[in-house]
Structures are given as C-alpha cells and as structure tokens.
Structure 1
Amino acid sequence: MQAELAQVYLTADADVPAFEQALALWCQSHSGAFGGRNLPGCWGAGDFSVELRGADSASLEALPGVARVDWLSHAPIGAGKRAPGLSGGVLRTLLLRVRADVPASQVESLERELLAMPDYMAGIRNWQLGRVTSGSSWTHVWQQEFAEVGDLHGEYLLHPYHWGWVDRWFDPAFPEWTVEAICHAYCPLPTSILAAD
C-alpha cells in the first residue's frame, strides 16, 4: 500500500493562524489526511507535516501562505503497533537520502537496524519504515509515534542502541556511512495515524 506525506514550507510573511485554519479545513475534506505544525527543534524540515492519504498534493500548494511543498509517496516495508489507541502524542517523521554508491545489502542492513529500534525503546509506540516510490530526492521514510515529546528527545535520541549502533549509518567517519542527508520533523498528534494503516 502506498502512502503519501509532505513537508509544507510557508513564506516568511505568511499568516500562520490563517494557514492553520485552511489546513484544518483541507484535512476535513480529505478522508484520513492529517496536518500538524512542526515543533521547535526540527532540522531540515518544513513548517508543517502533512499526511496526505491519497489527497492531491497540488491542492496543498494553493493554501494561503505556502512557499513550497516537499511531497513524496512511499511503500511501507515494515511497521509495528504498541498503542493503536494513542492520543495526544507526537508524530516524528525522518526522511532519509541514502548515498547512490552504497550496495543494496548495506541499505538492507540499515533498514533492518532501524526496524529493530522499537525492540530496544519502549517509548516508540507505533512505527513504520518505507521506501520512497515517487520522484523525490529522499529514499526512505522512518516514522514513529510517541506518547510525549520527552520520549523522542530522551529515550529515542539518547539511547545507546541509537548512538552506539544505528548512528554509524549516518556518520561519514564510519565505513558503514550510508545516509547522506536527513529531514527530522515532529509535530503534535491528536490520534494515531500509523496504527490506522
């Protein structure tokens, strides 16, 4: 099953409340769509994260104050649920760009180790890893849902499995270096969207 998402970038002079209101109406008119304002601390991300769920991304660009929309579709290759009824949580989306010169076996090892993270981190409540299928420059989408932002900033980002094992795929100082660019975005999540898939 294909899934679509976008990072929405606003103009410098955008009326953010007006955009939020327009986005809320847009989501109401597109079944399963979700949009949330990215929280402080995101890196390489837009102002809003949007789950399109089959909606036309061009219609997002027509909303007031939008400078550009970074849209992509992806095919999930692994997922899990611990808290399908999660509410009032946080959705984290990590977009990855894998280096073009790494062998497929190395990419598959990266994917396996990302999908193993929930085995070590109970704070990851629901998760999904996908390979990008659209013409985007990104190659992978790694999403997690947390009960609160502290689980992302604490357990996830500081966990020994993250820094002692997974980080080598992201660090040019290691021979396993595979990921050359990331977009790290997270936003409030009223109810789980990953568990609904």
Structure 2
Amino acid sequence: MQFETAQLYLEDGASQDTLERELDARAHSLPGLRRIVFGRNMEGCWGAGDYTVDLHIEGNARDGAATAYLTQLPGVSRADHLVYRPINGGQRAAGLQNGVWRTLLFRVRPEACSEHVAALERDLLRMPAYMPTIRNWQLSRVTSGSEWTHVWQQEFVCVEDLQGEYLTHPFHWGWVDRWFDPEFPEWTVEAISHAFCPLESSLLTLPAITHGSI
C-alpha cells in the first residue's frame, strides 16, 4: 500500500462545494486508489493550505498521477503533494468518529546529524504517553521528492484537545520543542506545516478500502 498526502491551496473565490464534489467524483481516475479522505482546514492552521487530502493506493502508483489529479481540480492553484512511509504509531480509539485530524509536515535541516533525527522521532512518538487526548497517531518519513521529510499525524476527539493539552503540554514545550527551536543546540527542524480539519471517521485505524470524504 502506498500512502500519500497533500495540502491543497485554492484560488481566490474558488467554490469549496464544487471542489469537494469533484475531489470524490474524479478519484476513480487514479490507478489503484483504495481510499481518499479530505477535509477543510480549520482556523488556526499555519504554513498549510485550504484542504488536507490523504490517499491510500494499492501497489506503487504511477509517478505524478496524484499530483496531476489534484492540481487539475477546479479552483486549485497549488497542491503540495508527497508520498510517505509509516515508521511507527499507535491507537487508543479504533474507529474514532466525528473527531479532529491533525497533519504536521516538517523538514529536517540538511546538516542535522542522524542521531538528532532519530532522537527527534523517538520524542515525537513518546508524546502520546504524556498526552492521553492523542487518540491515534502515526509518524512517517517522506519517500518522494518533496521539501518535507516527515509526516506526523494525530487524531483527537475535539479541537480543544489539540489546541489545549497537545499544544500547551509541558512535555511539548519543555522537551520536544528543543528540536524545533533554533535557539537550542539540538535544533533539527527548520520548517513546519500545521494543518487540522474535521474527521468523520478514523483515517489511522480503519482499513483503507473505500472512498469517502470527511
């Protein structure tokens, strides 16, 4: 299974309703598509587009097929699309419904040492042990040509859990933030894209077998 995600940027005045109809209607044109999930990004995102899209594709998809599909949608000015490979994750709420889906894309500094990158990945995966409101999570490495190197996804029951416990927790600011802050000697991450949107049903814990929107 190949995993892909994208941030869609819309033209000024573009119709979101039209885009959402076409996202699902045109999905059949993608070879091997097993599941497509998309949602409007909510207020408070930064460095992100207007929509988050995730695709599960059987086997190895034809290069450029998903990028072409996304950029040709009505009203889309740009699609920041990438392919990723999950490396670890966990779940507390299989089949979570009517929650919030968060996607953090980040780029590791080219000069960062492998020991720091590995420690950063371990610390991100430790966060759910301190933050029970992270219901499901997955950390992945980007495998396609992209400005991003990692995808860090979480599912929450509500947006208050993301903006509350997750973003303000002492473990986040007292420990994990050192990898993202240039004032620390451990500084490893040089850019991020923080997006979150409504989630109808869990992306991280349900089989990738159907088309659907969130």
Same fold (TM over 0.5): yes
Shift of 1:59: 1.1
**1:45 alignment partner in structure 2:** 48
Deviates more, 1:50-59 or 1:24-33: 24-33
The one-letter code matched in structure 2 to 1:20 is E
Rounded to whole Å, the distance in 1 between the matches of 2:28 and 2:167 is 33
* Structural mapping, 1:31-180, within 5 Å: 31-54=34-57, 56-57=65-66, 58-180=68-190
Secondary structure in structure 1 of the residue aligned to 2:148: coil
Q: Is 2:198 aligned against 1:188? A: yes
Give the alignment's Cα RMSD to 1 decimal.
1.5
AA matched with 2:168: L
User: Secondary structure of the equivalent of 1:53?
Assistant: strand
Give yes or no for contact 1:24–1:35 (8 Å, CA) kept in 2: no
| Equivalent position SS for 2:69 | helix
Note the alpha carbon deviations across 1:59-82, whole angstroms, 9 max, x for none: 122211010111101111111011
Give me the whole-angstrom Cα distance separating, in 2, the residues matched to 1:128 and 1:101. 25
Kept after mapping to 2: 8 A contact 1:27/1:35: no
CA deviation string 1:34-56 (max 9, x = no partner) = 01000000000010000011274
| Aligned mates of 1:149, 1:23 — CA distance in 2 | 25
Gaps of at least 5 residues in structure 2 are: 208-214
* Aligned residues between the structures: 197
Gap regions ≥5 residues in structure 1: none
Encode CA deviations 1:82-137: one digit per residue, 9 max, x unaligned.
10120000110000100000110110000000000000000000000001000001
Amino acid at match of 1:126: N
Report the AA paired with residue 38 of structure 2: G
- The alignment-based identity, stated in percent, is 59
Distance 1:9 1:66 in 2: 6
If the length of structure 2 is used for normalisation, what is the TM-score? 0.88
TM-score by length of 1: 0.95
